[in-house]
Each structure stands twice: as C-alpha cells, then as structure tokens.
Amino acid sequence: MFSKEDSKKIRQEFWTTFGKAYPHKWLLYNTKIKDVTLKFTFTTKIAQVSIDVEPYDETIRAYYYDKFLSLKNIIVEEYLDNIIFDQFYQLENGKIISRIYTELVDVSVHNKKTWEITMEFLNEKMLVLETFFLEYKDFIES
C-alpha cells in the first residue's frame, strides 16, 4: 500500500515519463466541443483512452452519445475494434458520464514493470482515437 502522497508522486512520475517518451500535443480538452473531451486514465487496475461526454444537461449528454453511437460501425471497422460504449459510465467520484473507450487491464500505475506496455498502449490508442475524432468532428458537433 502507498500513502496518498506516495501515490501522487508515482502518478506524477508516470505522466512526466510518458510525456518525455511520447512528446505529442494531445487534443484532450481542446476538442472545441463543449462537454466532449478525450482522456487518458491510468489507475491501480486499468489504463484507458476515452472520449468522455459529461455535460450537466442529460439531454445534451444523450445527444452526443447518440452521435457517437451512430458512428460505432465506423469506429469498430476502421479504428478500434475493441471499443466499448457505455452511456452510463460511473466515475470513481460517483458522477455518471457517457464514455467511449478502450482499456488495458492488469496494469497498475504503482507497478513500474507495467509502465512501458501502458505507455505504448496509451500512445497508440490515443493517436487512433484522435484521428477518428478529428475525421468526424464536424458530424459530431452538427
């Protein structure tokens, strides 16, 4: 077990190492669509690359989720065949969002032996997710 402070330091070290190993200006929060972001997640159990839809208005969340759902066949066939669509994804803080994601299991931010494979996964999958998002951005926001 790690203290909160130790865990925070390890997480910071991971993200610093990742940024140096894979220097890229990621899209992430700069999607230009309010309430739609691309995210990296790395916990003590999983690593994820996702598109998150998290507006305060449920109608808007459903609207954007339906837009992504209508592109599901394209995403699966041309971009990420193991993508998961979850309209009611629960975050650790209890908040419900819609999340479209791919994940790597059996890795841990606390286990440096899993860092290399996780960094490769995060880089590869986010590049693909960004490409998809930019290709279909006009449709998503229309």
Instruction: Indicate the pLDDT class of residue 92, thresholds 50, 70 and 90.
Output: confident
Q: pLDDT: is 142 or 47 the higher one?
A: 47
pLDDT at res. 142: 86
pLDDT at res. 45: 94
Whether the per-residue pLDDT at 1 is higher than 80: the answer is no
User: Apex CA 126: angle with CA 125 and CA 131, to 5°?
Assistant: 100
pLDDT at res. 3: 85
Give the rounded distance of the alpha carbon of 12 from its chain centre: 18
Whether the per-residue pLDDT at 17 is higher than 90: the answer is yes
Q: How much is the average pLDDT of 107-111?
A: 95
* Domain total in the chain: 1
pLDDT at res. 56: 83
**Full residue range of the structural domain in which residue 109 is found:** 4-141
Q: Where are the alpha helices (DSSP H) in 50-108?
A: 58-70, 72-74
